[in-house]
Chains A and B, each alone.
Chain A
Amino acid sequence: MKKPDLEKQDAGKVVLQELTDSPSKKNHEKKSFWMSIRIPILAIVTGLVFGAFLIGVTSTRMYAAFGTSFGAGIAEFFKEIATAYTALFQGSIGNPSAMISALQSGNQVAIREAFNPFLESLVQSTPYIFAGLAVALGFRAGLFNIGVEGQLFIGAAAATYVGYSITGLPQYIHMPLAFLAGALGGALWGFVPGILKATTGGHEVINTIMMNWIAFRFTEWLLSGPMNRPGAGGMPISPLIQPSAEIPKFFQSPIRFNLGFFIALFVACLVWWLLFKTTWGLNLRLVGTNPRAAKYAGLNIISITVIGMVLSGALAGMAGANQILALNHSMALGLSSGYGYDSIALALLGNNHPLGVVLASILFGTLRNGATKMMVVSQIPIDIISIVQAFIVMFVAAPAIIRAIYRLRKPEKEEATAVFLSGWGGGK
């Protein structure tokens, strides 16, 4: 308990080093922090600029305006972009003037409605956070978990089953129980490729992809067979979960903002603490970074590999559980809009750090949410946002593009890509 300030500072430094993962020859933590986040930030900006260009050139109104005069065409080009991005902003964050007037009026309903776009963005970010953490934790342990989508499905199925089949429990027991069942389901689905890798050397990339297919067909069978809703008329859909299993919402419908977002933040902190503050996390990262040195240091590579896969699967399962318990309240096949695959990009964007993953997930959730409004207001297809996301991820994966555009100096190492390469056995 002596010199608490100094200790705190030391811990902070270590964290920052872990976060930035970049070599700092001198004691320039701040500089290296900027070095590590500048590529993602510039990638986001550049992605949005590219998206703007696409919105402009795909606008039929612009071509029509060019018919009248050149100047009108140019004006229409920028007008289209402005309309689209205004809609994107209002759809994802909210309309600032509406927010202010709602606050001034003091009307509870008006305030909730004005802030709903922002809250809804957080709702949409929640599954991304869980899934992104799953991939990031896997990477830290040297495992390339492409099976998040399948683990998410199994997690959702387990949470659903516990959610509807058990009755009579109070919410503070039933909800956590169903949520943990989801985690357990995902963990089980991660365990299989984990044990295969540890004992037979079967590569987790192949095995997790295969496990995805098994998960999809298996849940399909579950939903049309044992877990089918009575009277669903052959539709593959589960019964509704008990209200006691629901993750509580903070406001009345249609505002969907719920406790799930905070559970995700809590889990992110937990993952951060586990990875960087405990011996377990150091074990995982050691095995993930240099398995030979890990063996030399006396670690049991086999069991740590399996634990890594299990934990990654558990996080993926939480994403599925969250979707069921917080939003859908029953399971159907359209459960995930590719969270499991997007999560790989999120881990990359967040440099495999829990904080980075949370920020990247909020970005993706926000873009997704705003895209819907953008489509309604300016008839711009929602897919433009997928393209923007793809650009961002590409720029982060190939930082040379960003460096070329902004004429940045090359740092000594590119950590993020190195992690991805080692996922293919390059590090072993």
Chain B
Amino acid sequence: MTPILQLKGITKRFPGVLANDHIDLTLNQGEILALLGENGAGKTTLMNILYGLYQPDEGEILVKGQPIKVSSPTDAINAGIGMVHQHFMLIPVFTVTENVMLGDESLKVAGFLDRPTAAKKIKEISEQYSLEVNPDEYVRDLPVGVQQRVEIIKLLYREAEILIFDEPTAVLTPHEANELFDIMRGLVKKGKSIIFITHKLREVLEVADRIMVIRRGAVVGETTPAEADMKKLASMMVGREVQLVVSKVHKEPGPVVAAVQDLVVADATNQIMIDQISFDVRAGEIVGVAGVQGNGQTELVEALTGLVKITSGKVTLLGEDITHATPRHITKLGSAHVPEDRQRDGLVLPFPVAENLVLCTYHNSPFAKGVILQYDKIVSTAEELIKDFDIRTPNAYTQVGSLSGGNQQKVIIARELSRPIKFLVASQPTRGLDVGSIEYIHKRIVQKRDEGCAILLVSPELDEILELSDRIAVMFRGKIIAIVPSEDATKEYIGLLMAGITPETIEKPTGKTVVETTF
């Protein structure tokens, strides 16, 4: 049987970079092919070539054995190739129907839009592929998972045969991701073919029929979920042995570094985001904050770093009351902050790496004398940090925005961890990063703990929390509903807590401390 899609010898060069090096790829009808690789390995470039956004320097594309030329997304769509982008291409104030129709409108006489026909077709598609969605709802009112379904419907509406999913789970909760996998399996059962781009190992093993691994622009191997395991895939991807779990020795924590008492934070509309939270973090321990995103973690981090106004309660750092202190004062006391969104909060993308590496300290000696910046000092410090933290950048003057996500995060880690800090607030420090970078950043955080730093780690990735934390605080609807020592924590137990099921109603997994409940 002719494969539905073949790429032969695709090569793409950017100035100074060989993004794709003679890549061959075959996709059979009715299969899910996972394209696995680190960030910057060339997966997305390859798919953008297939989708007509880039032109290859060499190589050809064959659909059902016929060579085709894809010079724009329109060509791709006409050839039956559709792409679900990582960032959705939807218009929030339009309904589902309008979004799906956009660019392929069915019209009535005199150019009026024929919404009912389109809506009917959408209904049919959503029933056929079990993609539940209401065509009349506005996209802005839909949860992210459903918005993604709308993107898929858009492709099916245009009769796409080959569906490309670019990092589709990056924006989804674990539950939504599982739903997406069901949808993907349903699609291939009905004869569609899927290319699934990702760097998450578990997902690949769960959903793919075949796995192709790309490293530095070239195919380094092909395997199947039956033959491979996480460790094998990780080493194929990174090109060396990878420690998936950072080794960490037990350590008695020291004195309390940061303490939070009855903290309440309300947002601009007076909604309580954090409701009477109390906890402390001791020297030499990592306290993990687990919870589904949007349960107050962001506000907690901002309250501890002085970025939001605290409504009531008290926060102390090293004995000093910092409830109403400015971010700069808190930094000065020896606190560091790895922000949740590195590009929005943590970096100034058009600025050079060097300036980003001193973002919180450039006004201090030795980086400034009075008001005059000491660029020689800034640059030499930056060069040291680039070496120490293995930041892959051409030089200290390169714009941070042109680095890969992992290296951008390393810039933040280097900046925050290289200071003599006593307290670190790390919010999603490995968000969107590949295994190699995750391993590195985890090591650095544990190293900081071993040096006696108190660390508050916030992450929606339960694995990360379980792996690194000494104690785990679970947040639900603005409250901490339990603080569990990591020895007592299992994934299932914390998962239940994250869903808001209070400890009183759960049997503890160790079985030692069963709490009696009466109904």
Interface assignment of A279: CB less than 8 Å from any CB of chain B: yes
- Whether A10 contacts B331 in the complex (CB less than 8 A), given A17-B352, A25-B394, A296-B337, comes out as no
A10 to B351, CA, bound (A): 16
On chain A, the residues within 8 Å of B346 by CB distance are 293, 296
A295 adjacent to B349 (CB under 8 Å): no
- Can you pick out 16 interface pairs between chain A and chain B where the beta carbons lie within 8 Å of each other? A14-B352, A23-B398, A23-B402, A24-B394, A25-B16, A26-B16, A280-B371, A282-B355, A286-B351, A286-B359, A289-B348, A292-B344, A292-B345, A296-B337, A297-B359, A298-B328
B144 an interface residue at 8 Å Cβ cutoff?
no
Quick check: B350 and A21 within 8 Å, CB to CB? yes
The reply to whether A290 and B402 contact each other, CB–CB distance below 8 Å, is: no
CA–CA, A43 and B65, complex, Å: 47
Cα-based distance from A300 to B306 in the complex (angstroms): 12
B399 within 8 A of A: yes
A residues in contact (CB < 8 Å) with B: 6-7, 10-11, 13-14, 17, 21, 23-27, 29, 277-280, 282, 285-286, 289-290, 292-293, 295-300, 412-413, 415
Please state if A296 and B17 are interface contacts (CB–CB under 8 Å).
no
Which A residues touch B398, using CB under 8 A? 23-25
Partner of B375, one of A11, A21, A289, A292: A11
Cβ of B339: which chain A residues have Cβ within 8 Å of it?
296
Q: Which of B371-405 contact A (CB under 8 A)?
A: 371-373, 375-376, 379, 394-395, 397-399, 401-402
Do the beta carbons of B348 and A279 come within 8 Å of each other? no
Q: Across the interface, which residues of B come within 8 angstroms of A11, CB to CB?
A: 375-376
> What is the CB-to-nearest-CB distance from A24 to chain B, in angstroms, rounded to a whole number?
7
CB of B360 within 8 Å of the partner chain: yes
Question: Would B349 and A297 count as touching, CB distance under 8 A?
Answer: no
Whether a CB of chain A sits under 8 angstroms from the CB of B347 is: yes
**Do B375 and A10 touch (CB < 8 A)?**
yes
Chain B residue with Cβ nearest A14:
B375
Contact with B402, one of A13, A17, A25, A295 (Cβ below 8 angstroms): A25
How many angstroms from the CA of A413 to the CA of B398 in the assembled complex?
A: 13
A293 and B376: CB pair below 8 A?
Answer: no
Task: Select B307's contact among A26, A285, A290, A296, beta carbons within 8 Å.
Answer: A296
| Contact flag A297-B360 (CB < 8 Å), given A14-B397, A282-B355, A289-B351 | yes
Q: Is the interface of A mostly helix, strand, loop or mixed?
A: helix
Complex formed: what's the CA distance from A289 to B351 in Å? 9
A387, B141: Cα distance in complex, Å? 49
Q: Closest CB-CB distance, A321 to chain B, in whole Å?
A: 26
Q: How far is the CB of B384 from chain A (nearest CB, A)?
A: 14
B41 CB to closest chain A CB (Å) equals 17
- With A23-B401, A289-B351 as given contacts, are A295 and B327 in contact (CB-CB < 8 Å)? yes
Question: Nearest residue in B to A273 (C-beta to C-beta)?
Answer: B372
- Is B235 an interface residue when CB atoms closer than 8 A count as contact? no
Q: Quick one: CB contact mask for B323-356 with A, threshold 8 Å, 1 for yes?
A: 0001111010000010100001111111110110
From B327, B354, B368, B397, residue with most partner A Cβ within 10 Å: B397
- In the A-B complex, the 4 residue pairs with the smallest Cβ-Cβ separation, listed nearest first, are A298-B328, A298-B327, A23-B402, A7-B376
A295 touches B307 (CB 8 A): yes
Bound complex: CA A24 to CA B350 (Å):
11
Residues on A with C-beta less than 8 A from B8 are none
Within 8 A of A (CB), among B12-65: 15-17
Q: Contact check, A296 vs B327: say whether CB atoms are below 8 A apart.
A: yes
Q: A106 → chain B, closest Cβ, in Å?
A: 47
Kindly list chain A residues whose C-beta atoms are within 8 Å of the C-beta of B158: none
B279 CB, nearest partner CB in chain A, Å = 23
* A29–chain B nearest beta-carbon distance, Å: 8
Report A-chain residues with C-beta under 8 Å of the C-beta of B351. 285-286, 289
CA A67 – CA B420 in complex, angstroms? 85
Report B461 CB to chain A, min CB distance, Å.
22
Q: B399's closest neighbor in chain A, by CB?
A: A23
A21 to B352, CA, bound (A): 9
Cβ–Cβ contact A412 & B402, under 8 A:
yes
The reply to whether A290 and B348 contact each other, CB–CB distance below 8 Å, is: yes
Bound together, the chains give a CA A277 to CA B363 distance in angstroms of: 12
Nearest residue (CB) in A for B328 is A298
Does A298 lie within 8 Å of B360, measured CB to CB? yes
CB-contact partner of A277 in B373, B379, B399, under 8 A: B373
Using Cβ atoms and an 8 Å threshold, which residues of chain A touch B16? 25-26
User: Does B362 reach chain A (CB closer than 8 Å)?
Assistant: yes
Beta-carbon nearest neighbor of B361 in chain A = A297
Residues of the A chain whose Cβ atoms lie less than 8 Å from the Cβ of B348: 286, 289-290, 293
A290 to B339, CA, bound (A): 14
- A343 to B: closest C-beta gap in Å: 23
Q: Which residues of A contact B368 (CB under 8 A)?
A: 278-279
Question: Once the chains bind, are A25 and B372 in contact (CB under 8 Å)?
Answer: no
Distance in Å: Cβ of B26 to nearest Cβ of chain A: 32
Cβ A293 vs Cβ B347 within 8 A:
yes
With the chains together, A29 CA to B329 CA distance in Å?
38
* Given A26-B16, A295-B327, residue A279 in contact with residue B362 (CB < 8 A): yes
Across the interface, do A278 and B372 meet the contact criterion of CB distance under 8 Å?
yes
Most buried by A among B15, B346, B360: B15
Q: Is B362 a contact partner of A282 (Cβ separation < 8 A)?
A: yes
Give the chain A neighbours of B376 by CB distance below 8 A: 6-7, 10-11
Contact with A293, one of B329, B345, B352, B397 (Cβ below 8 angstroms): B345
Which residues does chain A contribute within 8 Å of B328, judged by CB atoms? Answer: 297-299
